[in-house]
Structure 1
Amino acid sequence: MPEATIRRAGPQDAEVLAEIGARTFSDTFAHLYPPEDLRTFLAEAYDLERTRANLTDPARAAWLVEAEGRAVGYAEAGPCGLPHPEVTPACGELKRFYLVKEWQGGGLGGRLFAEVIGWLQAAGPRDVWIGVWSENFGAQRFYARHGFDKVGEYGFEVGQTVDREFILRRSGVSFSTQGRSDARAQHDFA
């Protein structure tokens, strides 16, 4: 497999991030939703202007993964917006974490994750949160290996469909990005 590069994304990357986000979400989860629910969700979640605004927000950051002249993944992080009583303004969240299927499983996810965690912890240790679909067992195993524990649940809305979403947290202690044991962002891990 050719080498992939990971770089910080900027406003000029909004179109490619919106496209790859919608494509990877659809490739992974479209079979779960009625077409109208999926269309409504994709139009809102990956809106080009919303994506561009996120890329200009100094409290957020995104990384683009490129290989063979095309985008093969991205991640986004920022302040935590998950519905949990222990979330504070100091908490960070891995909001999106995407890799196209053919680029999963070769260590690229670990490299991308390390970039995001490094940014989230740059000012010092803090709690990091992630929402992950209850049926996304691969993502749950990945995050458990990196020190995350399930601390709650909520309903993730995709149109009229409401999925059971787990809330995971890694306490703000200093850990290696390799995790604490050998024991896929949030819902959007693809």
Structure 2
Amino acid sequence: MANSTEEQKKFHVSATDAESFVKAVLRGNVMPDDNAAVVAKCLVAADLRGVDTHGVNRIPSYMARIREGLLDGKASPDIHQVDGKNGFGFVAASRAMIAACEMAKVYGIGMVSVKHSNDFGMGAWIAQQAIEEAGMMSLVFTNSSPAMPAWGSKEKLIGISPLACGAPGKDRPFILDMAPSVAARGKIYKALRREEKLPEGCMTVTIAIL
């Protein structure tokens, strides 16, 4: 049962207000308006979908990466091969999916790779973009740095490397967003922040990434 102090720490805001707040933070860190709108929409969409590990709570870590020079908030991707220019992965992924859908309209299939990019949050939103903007099915993949141990080991060796796919449906679209890990790193970090216990089976992942 939550105590009164914990209850006072919770703030309920509308999705519109949350999106406006995120855009303001990003613009305040010299991110172009159009790019800030893409990132804000994706982060709030993650929260609305219940994937709060990839939602607005990522903003502090993104801002830290900008301040440390690990992420270029001003970058806008090139479309030719899609060069993310070390900018936000949301923007590069969004433009890559637009380009892939345009190819598919002409050739029946479109495939785009992205280089020099960063985290793009949950993969579901990219598949959703293909459905909503082009009525197309899609597959989304990404590589990642070592974060998981191989079976029976304690050292980081394997990347999380999530994947997502989506397709239009008669009543509602089909979207699958998953990864081979036991749990998302964001869920472990969230448990640490809230001083919550991890469910059984997460310990091997915890040893590998903390």
Normalising by structure 1, we get a TM-score of 0.33
More strand by share: 1
More helix by share: 2
Normalising by structure 2, we get a TM-score of 0.31
> Bigger radius of gyration, 1 or 2?
2
